[in-house]
Amino acid sequence: MSSFGAAPAPILTESELKLLQALIYQECGMHFDERRTHFLQDRLLRRLRESRSDSFYAYYRLLISPEGKEELSRLLENLTVNETSFFRHKAQLDLFQRSVLEDLFRQKSARREYSVRIWSAGCSTGQEPYTLAMMAADSLAYYYLRNPLPVDLPLPKPLVPPPWRVEILASDINYSVLRTGQEGTYSESQMATVDYSYRLRYFDKVGDRYAVKKALKELVHFDFHNLKTEYLPQRNDIIFCRNVMMYFDEAEQKRLVEKFYRCLNPHGHLFVGHAESLLGLTKKFQMQHKDSGTAYQRLEVRE
């Protein structure tokens, strides 16, 4: 009787690796240097087996074929790092809320412009955009505390009192994280960085999980956007793109920052991750730094 063990793993040749790396870079901007080649090989092998390809070259051929579109998205989903948390890097969020957002509400109100648009680009499972939504709603409530309306608002008071409109766009390249964000329920361990006051006001306890309340959910809109493409959401007052650019090489980072410049309204702000910086990538933004939080404001060049 013959015994059937697991089939030996196909060998990934140097030229196959180069082909696949170039394809991934072209599709989503992710760059895998020597430190991350092992991770890349592991994920490629997993997908090769799932798709029942005989060799890495055959898998590459599948990816570039019209029938391989779905497999390509699945591969990209397997390659993204989706680590995130609520209230990630608090010092930067304080700068966002106490300085950038407050100024924005004041300036917009003076111009009688009552809509604010914030984009969380590379939002993963939603903790970042929901954090921004909670902070924006609180900021607006605080703004009204100091600048009361001449008439009382109906009870229960809306999260975003008229005439204001707060829109938070949450985008990612990974459909699976977008679905999780859209669902908006989180485990106790995922809620570790959400304090009681936020839990009480913005979440319902459903079984052993926390569900984002409807009113907060309505401020956040999840959508697919690949940051590698040219057509990205325009007219944002603030863009958060944290812990995404670090997976791109310098050329791709420069292109992305240039696109963000165009996606921002005049004087708009860009927030990047704690370990990321715009230094050496552009001269079109002015750095603002306060209590260990950093933001970059769009500089306006005279035509």
Ligand X SMILES: C[S@@+](CC[C@H](N)C(=O)[O-])C[C@H]1O[C@@H](n2cnc3c(N)ncnc32)[C@H](O)[C@@H]1O
Would you call 189 exposed, middle or buried from its count of C-beta atoms within 10 A (0-12, 13-18, 19+)?
A: exposed
Q: Does 124 bind ligand X (CB under 6 A)?
A: yes
Residue 161 DSSP symbol: -
x/- letters, 160..189, toward ligand X (CB under 6 A): ------------xxx--x------------
Q: Does 288 bind ligand X (CB under 6 A)?
A: no
Please answer whether residues 271 and 96 qualify as being in contact, where contact means their C-beta atoms are separated by less than 8 angstroms.
yes
Judged by beta carbon, residue 210 or residue 248, the one nearer ligand X is 248
Report CA torsion sign: 222, 223, 227, 232. negative
Among 22, 81, 153, 275, binds ligand X (CB under 6 A): 81
Q: Which of residues 33-72 bind ligand X (CB under 6 A)?
A: none
Helix (H, G, I), strand (E, B) or coil at 238: strand
Interacting span for ligand X (CB under 6 A) from 46-54, 123-131, 209-217, 292-300: 123-131
Interacting span for ligand X (CB under 6 A) from 7-15, 221-229, 275-283, 290-298: 221-229
**Closest residue by Cα to residue 240 from 97, 80, 103:** 97
Judged by beta carbon, residue 108 or residue 255, the one nearer ligand X is 255
Among 122, 126, 181, 268, binds ligand X (CB under 6 A): 122
Minimum CB separation of residue 83 from ligand X in Å reads: 5
Q: Report the 10 Å Cβ neighbour count for 199.
A: 13
DSSP string covering 5-63: -PPPPPP--HHHHHHHHHHHHHHH-B---GGGHHHHHHHHHHHHHHTT-SSHHHHHHHH
Minimum CB separation of residue 245 from ligand X in Å reads: 9
Q: Does 84 bind ligand X (CB under 6 A)?
A: yes
Measured between alpha carbons, how far is 152 from 144 in angstroms, rounded to an integer? Answer: 11
Q: Does 80 bind ligand X (CB under 6 A)?
A: yes
Contact residues toward ligand X (CB under 6 A) are: 28-30, 80-84, 88, 122-124, 128, 172-174, 177, 226-228, 242-244, 273
